[in-house]
Amino acid sequence: MWVLWAIGAAVSAALVTVLTKAGLKKVDSSLAFAIQAIFIFCITWAVVAWQGTFSQVKEIETKAWVLLVLAGLATTLSTLFSFKALSMGPASYVTTIERSSLVIAVILSILFLKEKLTWQLAVGGMLIIGGAVLIVMSDSGK
């Protein structure tokens, strides 16, 4: 079941990139993110209310709070950087570089979450980086 959610996330992320790039033509990138953040905030809390999980807030441990706040900061920075890059460069190239974060996530997962490095992960990561370099170095991206 997690694969379906992951596919949904991939499709949604692709839509975010294309819709954001189209919307940034005459809008400051930080302002554009601030507008989207309002919707993110409202929709996310509506889902929490609909699921009835708001009462679980008081059960969250301090360590989890710290990690979630840090992840929120990283999410904000990532999106601000992404929107700025999209306002300046082609969406297909920006996304290619941005999605190389998959390799960084794999490395960090191995180092900090003690996930196992397999040959498939290593080869897949090299292919991702190789593909990103190939795309970015193409003449169309200049």
Residue 138 has pLDDT above 90, yes or no: no
Say whether pLDDT at 21 is over 80.
yes
Q: Is the pLDDT of residue 140 over 90?
A: no
Question: Which of 131, 123, 81 lies closest to 106 in space, CA to CA?
Answer: 123
For the segment 79-115, what is each residue's pLDDT rounded down to a tens digit? 999 999 999 999 989 998 998 999 999 999 999 999 9
Rounded average pLDDT over 12-40: 95
What burial class does residue 20 get, using C-beta atoms within 10 Å of its C-beta: 0-12 exposed, 13-18 middle, 19+ buried? buried
- Taking the whole predicted model, whether its pTM rises above 0.95 is answered as no
Nearest to 99 by CA among 70, 128, 139: 128
139 — pLDDT class (breaks 50, 70, 90): low
Give yes or no for residue 142 having a pLDDT over 80.
no
- Classify the phi-psi angles of 27: left when phi > 0, otherwise alpha if psi is within -120 to 50, otherwise beta: beta
Mean pLDDT of 60-76: 96
Q: What is the mean pLDDT of residues 126-133?
A: 92
Residues 6 or more apart in contact with residue 54 via CB below 8 angstroms: 48
* Mean pLDDT of all residues in 116-120: 96
| Identity of the residue numbered 41 | F
